[in-house]
Amino acid sequence: MILEALNYAASWPLTMPAHRPYLRSSVNLWSRAHRCARQWAEHEARSKAAIVAACDGLRQQRTAVVLGSGLLRDVPIVELAKRFDTVVLVDLVHLASTRAWIALKGLKNIRLIERDLSGFDSLAMGQKPDPLSFLRQVPYLDFVVSANLLSQIGIGAKKRLETISAGTMPGDALKTLISAHLHGLRDIAATTCLLTDVAYSVIDRAGRGQETVDLLHGVEVPAPDARWGSHLDLASEWDWPVVPFGEQSADHQVVHRVIARTCR
């Protein structure tokens, strides 16, 4: 608890006032990541491998942008910093622990941007959400990663919907926001890598599924084809025990299904 409190306190003055309400959940995730390091290791390794594979063979490696950079545990940031002239990390919150790690690694070409990538506010104002439109202003953009962010857009939006009056937002708001992110990725004039968990299951110690939840609310990620390819073959989908046995329950774990897609 002491380390969490210190990280929270150190991150507070570094975070935009509008984004400070999200600090607590980010610190909680940081704490869980340390507790579950062994169980998360395979997911993190596969996520990093997917990103590296996606940027292999790029003709130019000038600017890379990571959307939902988070704790950087699932992002090969050192490799990206070596390959690209500039790497831009975009998220609601960049914890002090993450900032310190970047500094200790001596990664001079990393830029941090705080930004809400959900498109929620635009939709609330009756506008068509285009949350990735800012990428069209990034000079020399060659590579974009959406790093386990897509499902979080729906989760975050659902929580916000619970705090506002009924009828304020369209009934299909969650689908609209998730679709807007996918459309934004497809429209970028750069190679993109999408990593996302698409569903989770609650599983008991006998391996029986107790419940399965669609994290994308009915929105389907395009299957690998000429536009959305997979460079990892069988490794393009895997399970991630986000809440392993003993984390919240001795008898149940929560396992997320993760996919990787590359769009060239």
Tokens representing 48?
A: 């990093």
Q: What is the pTM of this model?
A: 0.93
Q: How far apart are CA 193 and CA 259, in angstroms?
A: 11
% of the chain beyond a pLDDT of 70: 95
What whole-number distance in Å separates Cα of residue 228 and Cα of residue 192?
A: 9
Q: Nearest CA to 26 among 91, 113, 88, 112?
A: 91
CB atoms within 10 A of CB 238: 18
pLDDT of 2-43, one tens digit each? 999 999 999 999 999 999 999 999 999 999 999 999 999 999
Q: What is the number of alpha carbons within 13 Å of residue 48 lying toward its C-beta? A: 16
Give the pLDDT mean for 222-251. 74
Query: Angle 96-104/2-11 helices, nearest 10 degrees?
Result: 80
Tokens read off for 260: 């990787």
Neighbouring-strand partners of residue 86? 63
- pLDDT mean over 244-263: 94
The CATH architecture assigned to 2-263 reads 3-Layer(aba) Sandwich (3.40)
- Cα–Cα distance measured from residue 102 to residue 78, given in angstroms and rounded to the nearest whole number: 9
Does position 244 have pLDDT exceeding 70, yes or no?
A: yes
CA–centroid distance for 99 within its chain: 17
| Whole-angstrom distance, CA of residue 192 vs CA of residue 185 | 7
Helix, strand, coil share (%) of the chain residues, nearest 5? 40, 25, 35
Q: Please count the residues of the chain.
A: 264
| Confidence at residue 233, expressed as pLDDT on a 0 to 100 scale | 41
Task: Map out the domains of the chain as residue ranges.
Answer: 2-263
To the nearest 10 degrees (0 to 180), the angle between helices 37-55 and 23-35 is 110
Contact between 164 and 88 under an 8 Å Cβ cutoff? The reply is no
Residue with tokens 């895997």: 238
Pick from 215, 129, 125: nearest CA to 169 = 125
Q: Is the pLDDT score of 228 beyond 80?
A: no
Q: Is the pLDDT of residue 224 over 80?
A: no
pLDDT for 173:
94
Give the span between the Cα atoms of 247 and 103, in whole angstroms.
31
Q: Where are the alpha helices (DSSP H) in 13-76?
A: 23-35, 37-55
CA–CA distance, 118 with 263 (Å, rounded to integer): 20
E-assigned strand segments in the chain: 63-67, 86-91, 110-114, 141-147, 191-204, 209-214, 228-229, 237-243, 252-263
Confidence class for position 227, pLDDT limits 50, 70, 90: low
- pLDDT confidence tier of residue 137, bands split at 50, 70 and 90: very high
